[in-house]
Amino acid sequence: MSRFLFVVPPLVGHVNPAVGVAAELALRGHRVAWAGEPELIGRLAGAGARVFPCAGRRAEAAPVVRPAHIRGPEALRFLWERFLVPLAEAMAPGVTAAVERFRPDVVVCDQQALAGGLVAERLGAVWATSATTSAEFTGALSGMPKVQAWLTALLDGLRHRVGDPASTADPRFSPHLVIAFTTRELCGPVSGSHGRFLGVGPSISARPDGPDFPWEWLDPARATVLVTLGTANTDTGTRFLAECREAARKRSDRLQAVIVDPEGSAAHHNGNGNGKESENENAASVEPTPDKDILIRPAVPQLALLQRAAAVVCHAGHNTVCEALWHGVPLVVAPIRDDQPVIAGQVVDAGAGIRVRFGRVTADRLGAALDSVLDDPGPRAAAGRIGGSFRAAGGSPAAAAHLEELALEAHR
Amino acid sequence: MSTSEQTGTIHADDGAVLADVAGMLRVILDEYGPDDTEIGMDTTFTGDLELESIDLVTLAGELQARYGDRVNFAEFVADMDLEEIIALTVGRLVTHVVMCLNSPENSPEAG
């Protein structure tokens, strides 16, 4: 039996994949504990999870208040200076206490919980990286030495405050093992200095049942198109969703669109809402009903819906992209910021979808892209091929097996 | 298009280079319509055009095809810090291209 400590940021999309791996390790008889935000981890990993609390609530609000218009390199600066580095400093004392008290054989560190690798290294513990997206492995900053130097300086300062000042290791990349929830069929060649890179495919299973859905609404004679901007981008999506609606409306003879709209912004944009209604969860119900062609829902059971979908229009968030590809569904990707442009590029390079410009695309261009992924067999075949690579990659059991091995090596 | 030949004797000016660069950007953006954003010297790459790093790679290739080795976009970007990249305008690139094209050391014979 070995002991594994999972260090995670207060972000659902980063905790969920770790939950699958942690459950697999527990099944194999190992001891598992967590360092992070107790309420979130308890909700996602189960009430029985042992959690060493880390401050992080203050930092948790940061990505939410990041102004919607901040994108591109400005978003990069904001992410590192205002979120990742402060989060690491807030989490470091809790991670230290967790390592000292739980005495893990391996610390499994989410790539955005920088405190994990820094503290583990300072305390001489073996650590692995858990990467929920693959954008850090594509050398995106390699042509920009001054930007690279800015990031290196940020990490050096952070290491000096919470890690081993004598080290130079990058807390994003474990020298022992990197587990990434993708495959090379999607992410392409991997660059950078790190330990063994293990692509295990996305973590798809073991999620509680999603919200209700009116399955009888779906018309079997028409293609189902799912439009979603994930959970974090709705404030910026009003214009884009309106273009999606128009493109779908013009194609109602052949397709139905399910639009995920948590904030009710699509209905709002239609002139049916006002400031008060936009705060109302049921704002989407303002939409004229019944509508046989377009269904707007605040949330959908995404995995179940993907089994019926012919195409997905999304922001190229890694989780949504991987879930679509897992089901062999081709994509129209409209990346907004952060890792999304890189992931969108991976989708395009793999032939599994078409990229459009989130802030500029019109209904006509969006519709043309939709027609292509629906009519051309190429994107569907490529999506199916990547989905196959995901299924073959081993998922949580493969990740658990390699972590077991690393724990044994740590004892030698 | 006064800068089409790599002869070393040409004299590039802002207007011609701006027209060249704006044309390249329109191809990259896939936008030709009358309603599309005007591209001028003050247009910013990331704020106004929402270009991503992948687009800059494409632009580097277009500049290379157009001007040859006299203009090295990769070096131009490599010299910038994050603030400068955030603030990068079409005008700054145009000025850089004009300077490269008019530099005597940068003629094909010297290169």
Cβ A372 vs Cβ A354: under 8 Å: yes
Cross-chain Cβ contact A73/B50 below 8 Å = no
Q: Three-class SS of residue A306?
A: helix
Residues counted in chain B: 111
A78 to chain B: nearest residue by CA? B82
Interface of B with A (CB under 8 A): 29-31, 37, 46-47, 50-54, 74, 77-82, 85-86
User: Sign of torsion, CA B27 B32 B37 B39?
Assistant: positive
Q: Residue A294: beta bridge partners?
A: A257
Distance (Å, whole) CA A15 – CA A34: 10
Cβ B101 vs Cβ B18: under 8 Å: no
The residue of B25, B27, B53, B77 whose CB has the most chain A CBs within 10 angstroms, and thus the best one to mutate to test that interface, is: B53
Predicted local confidence at residue A205, as pLDDT: 65
Distance (Å, whole) CA A88 – CA A11: 14
Contacts 24+ apart (CB under 8 A), B21-28: B21/B63, B21/B90, B21/B93, B21/B94, B21/B97, B22/B90, B24/B59, B24/B62, B24/B63, B24/B66, B25/B49, B25/B51, B25/B59, B25/B90, B27/B62, B28/B55, B28/B58, B28/B59, B28/B62
Predicted local confidence at residue B97, as pLDDT: 95
Half-sphere exposure at residue A194, Cβ-oriented, CA atoms within 13 angstroms: 26
Predicted local confidence at residue A369, as pLDDT: 96
Distance (Å, whole) CA A238 – CA A268: 8
A73 to chain B: nearest residue by CA? B86
Cβ B63 vs Cβ B71: under 8 Å: yes
Cross-chain Cβ contact B86/A74 below 8 Å = yes
The residue of B26, B28, B36, B50 whose CB has the most chain A CBs within 10 angstroms, and thus the best one to mutate to test that interface, is: B50
Q: Which domains does chain B have, with CATH numbers?
A: 14-105 (1.10.1200)
Q: Residue A180: beta bridge partners?
A: A131, A199
Q: Which domains does chain A have, with CATH numbers?
A: 3-201+393-411 (3.40.50.2000), 215-391 (3.40.50.2000)
CA distance B51 to chain A (A): 8
CA angle A195-A382-A303, nearest 5°? 80
Distance (Å, whole) CA A300 – CA A308: 13
Q: Residue A130: beta bridge partners?
A: A110, A179
In this prediction, the residues of chain A whose per-residue pLDDT falls under 50 are 59-63, 268-287
B37, B53, B79 member nearest A341 (Cβ): B53
Nearest to A366 by CA among A331, A337, A342: A331
Predicted local confidence at residue A206, as pLDDT: 53
Cβ A227 vs Cβ A258: under 8 Å: yes
Predicted local confidence at residue B3, as pLDDT: 46
In the numeric block, which tokens belong to residue A18?
Answer: 């770790």
Half-sphere exposure at residue A42, Cβ-oriented, CA atoms within 13 angstroms: 8
Predicted local confidence at residue B32, as pLDDT: 57
Please report, as a single letter, which amino acid is at residue A4: F
DSSP state of B50: -
DSSP state of B90: H
CA distance B46 to chain A (A): 6
Quote ipTM for the complex. Answer: 0.77
B30, B78, B82 member nearest A73 (Cβ): B82
- pLDDT tens-digit profile, chain B (111 residues): 444 444 444 567 899 999 999 999 998 887 655 556 789 999 999 888 888 888 888 899 999 999 999 998 988 989 999 999 999 999 999 999 999 998 876 555 544
